[in-house]
Amino acid sequence: MYKKINFFLLSTCLITSIACSEYSTIPAGAEVELANPVTPLFKGPTIVHADMIERIATIRYGHELEEVYLIVKDTNGEQVALLKSLPLRPGSLRTADILEGTPKINQRVSSATTEQNEAYQKIYPNVTEDN
């Protein structure tokens, strides 16, 4: 009885493996069209998480940014949010307090200029690490 079951299982596996090895989803000679990315890849600081309840955002490649006010821009280059960076922790992620706007995942982040930092410091004088 066990010999018949073993023979059946072995033959089933053998036939299945031969059939699967000859299967191809792309016919020979067919042209293959690859999809282009919708937006160009950006390897700079970007939003990877935004918690609007706690008003905190996480930024990938945040170690490239200065510990100042940060500007979040959409794909059109328009400012959509203002952040205040928190002290850098080990790794490439940085956290920041959300001061204005609603940052969304994959939006680009850059450090504010010196003039912008001075202006934002006047508007938000009490924003510290403890807030």
Q: For the segment 12-68, what is each residue's pLDDT rounded down to a tens digit? A: 766 766 656 555 566 677 676 666 655 556 678 999 999 999 999 999 888 888 888
Phi, psi of 17 (to 5 degrees): -65, -35
Q: Are 92 and 62 in contact (CB under 8 A)?
A: yes
How confident is residue 4, by pLDDT bands cut at 50, 70 and 90?
A: low
Confidence band, pLDDT 50/70/90 cuts, at residue 103 = very high
Q: Where are the beta strands (DSSP E) in the chain?
A: 46-51, 56-60, 69-73, 79-85, 94-101, 108-111
Class of 46-123 per CATH?
Answer: mainly beta
Angle at 42 between CA 38 and CA 46, to 5 degrees: 110
Contact yes or no for 56/98 (Cβ under 8 A): yes
- Return d(Cα 105, Cα 57) in angstroms, integer: 9
Residue with tokens 């919708």: 38
Q: Which residues contact 95 (CB under 8 A, 6 or more apart)?
A: 56, 57, 58, 59, 62, 85, 86, 89
Residue 43: predicted pLDDT: 77
